[in-house]
Amino acid sequence: MRIEIAGENALILYFSDKVSEESSAKIQAMTQALGTKMGDGIIDLVPSYASLLVIYDDDRYDYYAMRQLINTTAKQLDSQSSRSEGKLITLPVYYGVEAAPDLEELAQKAGLTTNEVIEIHQAQTYQAYAIGFAPGFAFLGEVDERIAMPRKSTPRKAVPKGAVAIADRQTAVYPSVSPGGWNLIGLCPVLMFDPERTPCMPLETGDKVKFQAISKEEFLSMGGQL
């Protein structure tokens, strides 16, 4: 773990140079351990692919004291053999033509049939590496290289709520209507962000996600809208 300064009251911890489940588990464990101090000197934590941003109250800690707290916490975590496993969530997806405007094109570019793309997308268990971009937007990885696809050159002004999408080796479900350049391959009827509900998200960073194909009837009966 490498500690760098981010700002006047923020340090960023780098766990690796690349995405891996191992470093993700470490980030998760560190986030949970430091999370117990939220409101008690820690203002906020932002876990991401290979890093954790720690924002602290500089009335309570200075740079040296915060470094020390982080290093002590890291040592304690290293000595613990048990590591926290995120939960596994299955998200239903309707991959039908009317729900998947980019599926055909993605399949063509990948040299696969649309059914193969759908199968490959479902075969993987993904890790929720980061949440950001918009409330409840979880970056899931990594997508099988065969169906990895760069972002569209012209982003859409409005990607529909629930859109299941691929960008490079990441996949995600859009929690609300927003602009976006990802390739849309289906629709998920599960609400990914609901401010009225507790918890407001079905998943958090560190969780695992599988996608499961459903029929149009199932999609509609689960509250999905076309």
Q: Using the minimum distance from each CB to another protein, give the nearer residue, 13 or 117.
A: 13
Quick count: other Cβ atoms within 10 Å of Cβ 97? 9
Q: Which of residues 43 and 120 has its CB atom nearest to another protein in the complex? A: 43
* CA quadruple 59, 63, 66, 71: dihedral, nearest 10: -170
Closest of 91, 70, 53, 84 to residue 173, by C-alpha: 91
Shortest distance, CB of residue 63 to another protein, whole angstroms?
Answer: 5
Minimum Å gap between C-beta 129 and another protein is 9
For 74-81, the CB contacts below 8 A with 24+ separation are 74/1, 74/30, 76/33, 77/26, 77/29, 77/30, 77/33
Nearest distance in Å: CB 80, another protein: 22
Q: Per rule CB under 8 A, is residue 176 in the interface with another protein?
A: yes
Using rule CB under 8 A, residue 22 touches another protein: no
Q: What is the CA radius of gyration of the chain?
A: 19
Using H for helix, E for strand and C for coil, what is the string for 151-166?
A: CCCCCEEEECCCEEEE
SS3 110: helix
Q: Is 128 in the site for another protein (CB under 8 A)?
A: no
Q: Which of 137, 174, 182, 211 binds another protein (CB under 8 A)?
A: 137
Residue 95 tokens read as 């991959």
* Run of H or E residues at 104: helix 103-110
132 forms part of the interface with another protein (CB under 8 A): yes
Stretch that binds another protein, among 49-57, 79-87, 118-126, 216-224 (CB under 8 A): 49-57
Point out which span in 109-117, 149-157, 197-205, 212-220 binds another protein (CB under 8 A): 197-205
The interface region with another protein, picked from 82-90, 118-126, 199-207, 213-221 by CB under 8 A, is 199-207
52 or 184: CB nearest another protein: 52
**What does the block give as tokens for 174?**
């859009």
In the structure encoding, which two tokens stand for residue 135, read together? 């409330």
For 128, residues 6+ apart whose C-beta sits below 8 A from its C-beta are 86, 138, 139, 140, 203, 204, 205, 206, 207, 208, 209
Stretch that binds another protein, among 91-99, 107-115, 118-126, 129-137 (CB under 8 A): 129-137
Judged by CB under 8 A, does residue 130 bind another protein?
yes
Q: Does 52 bind another protein (CB under 8 A)?
A: yes
Binding site for another protein (CB under 8 A): 4-10, 12, 18-19, 31, 38-39, 43-53, 55, 58-59, 62-63, 130-137, 139, 176, 193, 195, 200-201, 204-205
